[in-house]
Structure 1
């Protein structure tokens, strides 16, 4: 019996070493299997220690025989397996809790506490080291180290506070009080990494981040509000200006429509009516696109509705009278649209004037159907005023504003329209018939290429990816336009 009890520490040591080997064989990718192995070996080792009446929480004074050394090794291995079993339970809980950011911090803290506790337990119950004296000595050392690492410790504890407080998570877009903003791409004990809009990584110490006020733009969602101030010359009633600016926001394809964007009158004086356009975008990364589109639409709708933008308040221009919108009845209204569109910039002044003279004005009431899907238009259309909706089935996929073209696919290429078009508001368009464009397209093939590219870009509005049609689609449409006008020319010559 005595001989058997002397061999039990050897059995425990063997189980401890075997458990370590099996634990490593399982690998990091199988945490559940690792935990089962840890619990199994730990339970068997505990049972053997209990049978041998060798309690790990009791210090046994050393003696000269080898059995005591085996018992020391057995106790150390038991404590090691206890720590691994506890850490395994912690990791399983973290995986089930689905909180990766807090999980990493909690796991590191608990693992450090478990290893520290096990180390002190081994020193106390295996080697008989007086823990009280050791803790008193380590306290003095900790004070010295703390003073030397004051800045680093401040970052560490700030990181703990930020992690537990959860003001942001990985992937959130945050803005700091000093103007720094970006998406959180990494966060550790000491610092937080932000990927800025300039595609640079800014490393912020956690202590600095905790002191600065921050705004989490991604919470509760990434919708981000923008405000664009506009100064309009007081040549129209403020109510009219508000309606025009609402049309600007309604014709946008980039901004969020729910909640509704708003137009606010913020002031008026002798030189200007101050208006603010308030709208949201789906992500901070789309702010530039949204501003560009809204500014472009403000210009177009102001031109279409006879509004003038006011001079800046710091301007030193002396005005003897309020600015007035000048009408030029002798100049066709279509000419201004044609001259403003880059597609027609390759034409001469006389050619643009001839196109404007041949254009026919057409109007559609709000809600009217301009063309159905699968039908064809008789000419190329230029939006003079109002908003045109592009629909696929019952779903609206994009909107056209003053200055936009449509009809290239049916009027020029002889193809059926792939989308339906309807008037959102009262719409005025100018229609340029095919006969007026035929000689221009024959003499300037690049005009057909530009019209095909414009159609491809507009078709890209309806694509959920936001990408324009591929080059081969533009080439196919361009070839179709040229072919149609070649047939048309041969018919006229015949």
Structure 2
């Protein structure tokens, strides 16, 4: 069957394909299942009609002298490829889900959608318009290498941003401690950099490529409670058991400390100069660290003085 003989069916396919585009946009994005089923229906009908009339969308057709019919055939094949892309994208949007991590899932979906559109675009250029895609890809590769070398640092930040987004070592608002000693809350994160607002109310902008190589301690996970420790040196004028008992009483009288788990007093070492103790306790939030430490030191001093303990 010649191209001219199937002109009318092709025109109907074009109308059907255009209708599928309108239906695709008319169905709300939240109804992903309905959109996918409808899209598959349009795609299946278009595929069946094209194959019935001997038109293979993934083969390059030899176009004849009937320019209007050729344009109709080209449009029909382009619409078929578009509907194929949307059908695959429908599966990606519906079934690529990372439980409890919607942002990571959305990022992976967007990357796959971009790859699908790129592949369909190359297929249309090759199978519909007869372009030499291999030469185009080779030329694009040279351009990509040149741009990659010129934008090496920027691309490093972008890919590091993708890795950080997928790994999610922190969320917005988390309190983090970096390997270089920077401590603050994550106030903003984007493809290029992460902004950390420090306790001094300054904003440190860290390129993602630098941040990805750092050790990041998230002070907000698994919960907001924090463990602190205070080291004391007491003159060895009393028995160690008596000294540890006084320290336990001091910690028990602190209102800023959590009671579960209980504060711990550990003997670190003892010699002729001092009894070294480590007082460990937990506070409810990072904001309680300084007030709790102040209260602990004050009460340790008070109880130690009442028990005639002297600091070494």
TM-score, normalization by structure 2: 0.85
SS state of the match for residue 97, structure 1?
coil
| Alignment CA distance shift 1:236-1:160 (3 Å) | same
Match of 1:106 in 2: 108
Residue 167 of structure 1 deviates from its aligned partner by: 6.0
Q: Higher RCO, 1 or 2 (CA under 8 Å, sep at least 6)?
A: 2
- Per-residue CA shift, 1:145-172, capped at 9, x if unaligned? 10111001111222333345x2614255
SS state of the match for residue 92, structure 1?
helix
User: Contact 2:257 / 2:284 at 8 angstroms: preserved in 1?
Assistant: yes
Q: Following the alignment from structure 2 to structure 1, what is the Cα–Cα distance between the partners of residues 201 and 234?
A: 36
SS state of the match for residue 6, structure 2?
helix
SS state of the match for residue 20, structure 1?
helix
Is 2:29 aligned against 1:19? no
Match of 1:286 in 2: 288
- Per-residue CA shift, 1:202-230, capped at 9, x if unaligned? 43211101222222334544443212223
Equivalences for 1:182-331 in 2 at 5 Å?
182-184=184-186, 186-198=188-200, 201-268=203-270, 272-309=274-311
Is 2:135 aligned against 1:133? yes
Q: Following the alignment from structure 1 to structure 2, what is the Cα–Cα distance between the partners of residues 22 and 277?
A: 68
Q: Following the alignment from structure 2 to structure 1, what is the Cα–Cα distance between the partners of residues 62 and 246?
A: 93
Q: 2:82 aligns with which of 50, 73, 80?
A: 80
Aligned residues: 309
Q: Following the alignment from structure 1 to structure 2, what is the Cα–Cα distance between the partners of residues 200 and 104?
A: 32
User: Contact 2:98 / 2:104 at 8 angstroms: preserved in 1?
Assistant: no
Any stretches of 5+ residues in structure 1 without a counterpart? Answer: 311-494
Equivalences for 1:304-383 in 2 at 5 Å?
304-309=306-311
Residue 45 of structure 1 deviates from its aligned partner by: 2.2
| Alignment CA distance shift 1:118-1:269 (3 Å) | same
Match of 1:38 in 2: 39
User: Contact 1:170 / 1:186 at 8 angstroms: preserved in 2?
Assistant: no
User: Contact 2:170 / 2:218 at 8 angstroms: preserved in 1?
Assistant: no
**Rg larger in 1 or in 2?**
1
TM-score, normalization by structure 1: 0.56
Residue 43 of structure 1 deviates from its aligned partner by: 2.5
Any stretches of 5+ residues in structure 2 without a counterpart? Answer: none
What RMSD over aligned residues (CA atoms) do the two structures have, in Å? 2.9
Residue 179 of structure 1 deviates from its aligned partner by: 1.0
User: Contact 1:94 / 1:100 at 8 angstroms: preserved in 2?
Assistant: no
